[in-house]
Structure 1
Amino acid sequence: MLIIIAAFYLLTSTTAYAESGPTKKTCNKQSLSILLTNDDGYDKPGIRALHRVFKGAGHRVVLAAPAGNASGSSTSVTFAPIKVSEAEPNIYAIEASPASTVLLGVGNYFPDGPPDLVISGINKGANLGPATPVSGTVGATIAALLLSEPAIPAIAISTDSFQPTSGTDVDEQQANLEHLDRIAHFVLTMVTRLQGRSCNGGALLPPRLALNVNYPPIPDRDIKGVKLTQQSRTPTFRLSYAPSENNPRLYAPRFEKQLPALTGDEGDTSAFHQGYITIVPIDGNYTADAKSRASIARWLEGLEHTNR
């Protein structure tokens, strides 16, 4: 299963590359240097699936990820001294935010220069719509774009827990591991395709651009395709804080998943729930669009600073 829409191909290349031929074939065999990170923890099955698949494909991989769960970290950075443990050769458990693991990893574990690519994930939990800027998985890619010099191409990849078809005698844990393996191979296929651009000396992605990818938790036969889309405004969860029964000064978080109302939604949330693998190009720039800026300019027309 792989249906890459034309817009995605145009995003990754301004030149049409042949699907075969010696140049494409040679480039596809190039070994990339890759930093893997996530926000779930260095030992979680999602990142280990990526590590296994990309190393198996011959790429040079360093895994530098948080020592524990750092979900919801966005692009926060750790200013305190950071403790690092090398759990295995080129696998580092770092007591820091996902963004800081990228900065630490890039600056210390690639002696020959910055990696060709940062991949963050596979996250347990989709990062769609309003969840995108909150996500530590996505935040790590923004660190690669905006806090690294030079900027490093990056991909964030997330999914929800795979639920086997009811009534089937399938082990849920094993089904999820197989689901993660399929996702890792999809990411490898996508990166291999992006390498076609580098055949003519280009980068894997346009400058200061990352991809936020979300893979539905459904069997491959039910995947409708791959859709290049935009970040939705439709939330998939509600987060609130309520006082504890035993201590009214202590407020506990309440996280509630909610089925989004998809009517009128043309972004990643709707496409994901329709069965598409979604790809949203992101750049970490929070500036509103030109129409919104023009509106604010009219509202603030004549505003001046007055000396006091």
Structure 2
Amino acid sequence: MAGNAVPRPTILITNDDGIDASGLQALVRVLVSTDLYSVLVCAPDSEKSAVSHSITWRHPVAVKSVDIIGTTAYAVSGTPADCTSLGISKALFPSIPDLVISGINKGSNCGYHIVYSGTVAGAREAFFNGVPSISMSYDWVEGKSNVEDYVLGAEACLPLINGLVGDIKNKCYPTGCFLNIDLPTDIVNHKGYKMTKQGKSNFSMGWRKVSSEIEGYNIQSNMSTDLDASLSSESNELTTKQGHVLFEREATKYVIDDEDVDILSLHEGYINVTPLCGQSPAAVELQDFFKDWLLNVSEKSSPSTL
């Protein structure tokens, strides 16, 4: 490094759609093109959608170097939380990144979807370890969206990323939360940024039996909102040679409450910015209720009342 040049801030990118996913690739290209950051990538080697904050515990993960122009990149056999944990551990890279960004996910992450999301977990894992982080998702709609929208979304978020890195450098970024960003479908005509809070929106999920005649069918639930219509439920042959009966999740309806500010704001065309934390404490009135409830239960179960 020549003279007294200041090293560029380092951003670690992960996701849950896999290292080859268009959203991650677009985000990386946009960040690299700014020439402002040192970009690292540590992402799953395959899709890990809806794994939430699961981690690999009982066996090692496999790590492979991947060629992504302008970055140092590795594909990992583990979950998004694994990837973030490894990427900030200094076991893989020589230093801890200044910022972790998880995304850009194919599909929004609002309401209760935040709980299921591997994308959000990738950012949350960084938060758990004291590293500032962002999860980013795009409200992909089949027939309307295309891969170029990821680039537009990444470019639209650059002011947020730059501002966040500046705050981190100046040590004025609050450490008690991380940010969840959702990009509207019509990103080119977005209405600007809007501060929101997590709502309660969610798919009402059911189950259906599916055909067992699909060779190599992986018996795992797929929480993607883009449901696979190729699995036919018309077959009467529902039992596999191993004796398994196959069931698949299906969304019956999408439930939105009047207080679901994040999903409503997104559908209005705003770029949602939602602060999140690692804990989900109950509301104060519920804390008060269960304080009294526990006292009553304890009194009723005391030896003198038995």
The TM-score bracket by the shorter chain reads 0.7 to 0.9
Distance 1:103 1:302, change over 3 A: same
Distance 2:101 2:112 in 1: 21
Q: Is 1:159 matched up with 2:138?
A: yes
Is 1:77 equivalent to 2:55 in the alignment?
Answer: yes
Task: Give how far 1:206 is off.
Answer: 1.1
Corresponding residue for 1:290? 284
Q: Report the 3-state secondary structure (helix = DSSP H, G, I; strand = E; otherwise coil) of the residue aligned with 1:100.
A: helix
**Range with bigger deviation, 42-51 or 156-165:** 156-165
- Name whichever of 193-202 and 134-143 sits farther off: 193-202
Match of 1:228 among 175, 195, 208: 195
Q: Which residue number in structure 2 is paired with residue 255 of structure 1? A: 250
Q: 1:255 to 1:279 in 2, by over 3 A?
A: farther
Does 1:65 find its partner at 2:33?
Answer: no
Which of 260, 268, 277 is 1:274 aligned to? 268
Secondary structure of 1:295's counterpart equals helix
Contact 1:239 1:255 survives alignment (8 Å): yes
Q: Label 1:138 to 1:198 Cα distance change in 2 as closer, same or farther (>3 A).
A: closer
Q: Partners in 2 of 1:64 and 1:187 — Cα distance? A: 20
The answer to whether the Cα contact below 8 Å between 1:153 and 1:208 also exists between their aligned partners in 2 is no
Question: Structure 2 CA distance, aligned partners of 1:191 and 1:32?
Answer: 11
Asked if 1:238 corresponds to 2:204, the answer is: yes
Maintained 8 Å contact 2:111/2:201: yes
**Structure 2 vs 1, CA of residues 124 and 291 (structure 1 numbering), >3 Å: closer, same or farther?**
same
Q: CA deviation at 1:266?
A: 4.4
Match in the other structure for 2:111: 129
- Relative distance call for 1:143 and 1:164 in structure 2 (3 A) is same
Instruction: Specify every segment of 5 or more residues in structure 2 that has no aligned partner in the other structure, as ranges.
Output: 1-5, 211-235
Structure 1 residue 50 and structure 2 residue 50: aligned? no
Matches within 5 A, 1:292-307: 292-304=286-298
Separation in 2, partners of 1:121, 1:195: 17
Question: The residue matched to 2:295 in structure 1 has which SS?
Answer: coil
How much has 1:162 moved relative to structure 2? Answer: 5.1
Alpha-carbon offset, residue 279 of structure 1:
1.2
Q: CA RMSD in A?
A: 2.3
User: Deviation at 1:160?
Assistant: 2.4
Deviations 1:95-126 (A, max 9, x none): 001000111111223313x1111100000011
Structure 1 position 183 matched with structure 2 position 153: yes
Deviations 1:208-244 (A, max 9, x none): 41111110111422x2222111111122x23322333
On the 8 A contact 2:200/2:260 being kept in 1, the answer is no
**SS of the counterpart of 1:212?**
strand
CA deviation map 1:237-274 (0-9, x unaligned): 23322333533542422232745445x23420111111
Query: CA–CA distance in 2 between the matches of 1:281 and 1:227?
Result: 11
The question of whether the paired residues in 1 share the 8 Å contact of 2:152 and 2:187 is answered with no
Deviation by residue 1:3-62 (Cα, 9 ceiling, x = unmatched)? xxxxxxxxxxxxxxxxxxxxxxxxxx9722111000000011100111111122221111
**Higher normalized helix content (fraction of residues):** 1
* SS of residue paired to 2:61: coil
- Largest Rg, 1 or 2: 2
Contact 2:201 2:255 in 1 (8 A): yes
Q: Say how many residue pairs are matched.
A: 261
Q: TM-score, normalised by structure 2?
A: 0.78
Q: Residue 138 in 1 paired to residue 120 in 2?
A: yes
The answer to whether structure 1 residue 40 and structure 2 residue 29 are counterparts is no
TM-score with structure 1 setting the length:
0.77
Cα displacement string for residues 149-179 of structure 1 (whole angstroms, at most 9, x for unaligned residues): xx111100001225676xxxxxxxxx62221
| Structure 2 counterpart SS, 1:189 | helix
Query: Which residues of structure 1 form unaligned runs of 5+?
Result: 1-28, 166-174
Structure 1 161/120 Cα, relative in aligned 2: closer, same or farther at 3 Å? same
* Residue identity matched to 1:242: R
Q: Which moved more, 1:183-192 or 1:127-136?
A: 183-192
Identity %: 31
- Aligned partners of 1:243 and 1:251 also within 8 Å: yes
